[in-house]
Structure 1
Amino acid sequence: MFVGITNAPRDYAWGSRTAIPEFLGTPPSGGPEAELWLGAHPGSPARLADGSGDLRTVLDDRLPFLLKVLAAASPLSLQAHPTPAQAEEGFAREEASGVPIDAPNRSYKDPFHKPELLVAVSDTFDALCGFRPVAEILASLARLPASAGLEDLRGRLTGDGSLPAVFKWLITRGEGVEELVAELPRRAAGVEGLEFETVRRLAAGFPGDPGIVISLLLNTVRLSRGEALYLPAGNIHAYLEGLGIELMAASDNVLRGGLTAKHVDVPELLKVLDFTPRPIPYLEPEVTSSGVRIFRPDVPDFALAEVMVDGGGEARVPLPGPAIALCTGGAVHVSGGHADRALVRSEACYISPDEGELTIAGSGTVFVATTNA
Structure 2
Amino acid sequence: MTKIFALKGKIQNYAWGGKQYIPNLLGITPENKPYAEYWLGAHVNAPSVVKSETGSVNLDTFLNNNLEESLGTKVANQFGRLPFLFKVLDVNDMLSIQVHPTKAEAEKGFKRENELGIPLTAPHRNYKDDNHKPEIMVALSEFWLLHGFLTEDKLRKVLNSVPEFTEFLPVFDTEGYLGLYRTVMEQTEEETNRILKPLVDRILPLYKKGELSKSDPAYWAAKAIYTSDDEAIDKGIYSIYFFNIVKVEKGEAVFQDAGIPHAYLEGQNMELMANSDNVLRGGLTPKHVDVPELLKHVTFEATVPNILKGEAQSDGLERIYKSPAPDFELSQIKLSNNDVYTSTSSSAQILMVLEGGVELSEEKENVISLSKGKSALILASCKYVITAKSSAIIFKATAPEV
Q: TM-score by structure 2 length?
A: 0.86
> How far is the alpha carbon of 1:288 from its aligned partner?
0.1
The match for 1:134 is: 152
Counterpart position of 1:242: 267
The partner residue of 1:91 within 110, 115, 119 is 110
Contact 1:129-1:281 within 8 A present in 2 as well: no
SS of residue matched to 2:394:
strand
Which residue of 2 is the match for residue 41 of structure 1?
Answer: 43
Instruction: Give the match for residue 104 of structure 1.
Output: 123
Question: 1:315 and 1:170 mapped to 2: Cα distance?
Answer: 52
Of 285, 294, 312, the match for 2:320 = 294
Q: Could you tell me which of 291, 314, 327 is aligned with 1:266? A: 291
Match of 2:218 among 196, 201, 224: 196
1:217-236 superposed matches below 5 A: 217-236=242-261
User: Partner amino acid for 1:365?
Assistant: I
Pair 1:191–1:26, CA change in 2 (3 A)? closer
Deviations 1:19-52 (A, max 9, x none): 1123344332332111011111111111234652
Q: Which residue of 1 aligns with 2:395?
A: 367
Is 2:361 the partner of 1:347? no
CA distance in 1, matches of 2:95, 2:395: 24
Number of equivalenced pairs:
367
Q: 1:142 Cα deviation (Å)?
A: 4.2
Does the CA contact (< 8 Å) of 2:135 and 2:257 recur in 1? yes
Q: Deviations over 1:241-290 (max 9, x none)?
A: 11111111111111111111111111111111111111114233111012
In structure 2, C-alpha distance between the alignment counterparts of 1:23 and 1:223, rounded to whole Å: 21
Equivalent in the alignment of 1:75: 94
Candidates 321, 342, 356, aligned match of 2:347:
321
Inter-CA distance 248–355: structure 2 relative to 1 (3 Å threshold): same
- Asked if 2 retains the 8 angstrom alpha-carbon contact of 1:129 and 1:236, the reply is yes
**Cα distance in 2, alignment partners of residues 199 and 47 from structure 1:** 39
Residue pairs, 1:299-318, within 5 angstroms: 299-317=325-343
SS at match of 1:157: helix
The residue type paired with residue 155 of structure 2 is I
CA contact 1:21–1:27 (8 Å) conserved in 2 = yes
Name the stretch that deviates more: 193-202 or 283-292: 193-202
CA distance in 1, matches of 2:322, 2:368: 25
Name the counterpart of 1:184: 199
Residue in structure 2 matching 1:216, options 241, 244, 261:
241
Counterpart CA distance in 2 for 1:326 and 1:142 is 47
Distance 2:20 2:129 in 1: 32
User: Per the alignment, do residues 68 and 194 of structure 1 end up closer, same or farther by CA in structure 2, a change over 3 Å counting?
Assistant: same
2:248/2:307 contact within 8 Å kept: no
Contact between 1:79 and 1:254, CA under 8 Å: does it hold in 2? yes
Give, as a single letter, the amino acid of the residue that structure 2 aligns with 1:162: G
The more displaced of 81-90 and 191-200 is 191-200
Distance 1:167 1:136 in 2: 15
1:150 aligns with 2:165: yes
Q: Is the 8 A contact 1:290 1:314 kept in 2?
A: no
Change (3 A) 1:336 1:295: farther
Q: 1:150 to 1:360 in 2, by over 3 A?
A: same
Following superposition, the deviation at residue 339 of structure 1 comes to 5.2
Q: Give the 3-state SS of the residue equivalent to 2:104 in structure 1.
A: helix
State, as a whole percentage, how many aligned pairs show the same letter.
35
Amino acid at match of 1:112: N
User: Aligned partners of 2:180 and 2:362: how far apart in 1?
Assistant: 53
| Residue in 2 that maps onto 1:169 | 183
**Separation of aligned partners in 2, 1:76 and 1:238:** 6
Q: 2:143 aligns with which of 119, 125, 138?
A: 125
RMSD: 2.1
CA-CA distance at 1:191 after TM superposition:
5.8
Alignment-mate amino acid for residue 102 of structure 1: T
Q: Give, in angstroms, the shift of residue 105 of structure 1.
A: 1.1
The letter for the 1-side match of 2:23 is: P
Query: Residue 195 of structure 1: CA displacement?
Result: 2.0
Residue equivalent to 2:77: none
Distance (Å, rounded) in 1 between the aligned partners of 2:302 and 2:118: 34
Partner of 2:201, secondary structure, is helix
Q: Which amino acid aligns with 1:184?
A: L
TM value normalised by structure 1: 0.92
Provide the residue aligned with 2:59 in structure 1: 55
Q: CA deviation at 1:68?
A: 0.6
Report if aligned partners of 1:26, 1:346 keep a CA contact under 8 Å in 2. Answer: no
Q: CA deviation at 1:7?
A: 3.0
- Determine helix, strand or coil for the equivalent of 1:53: strand
What residue identity is the alignment partner of 2:30?
P
- The equivalent of 1:334 in structure 2 is 360
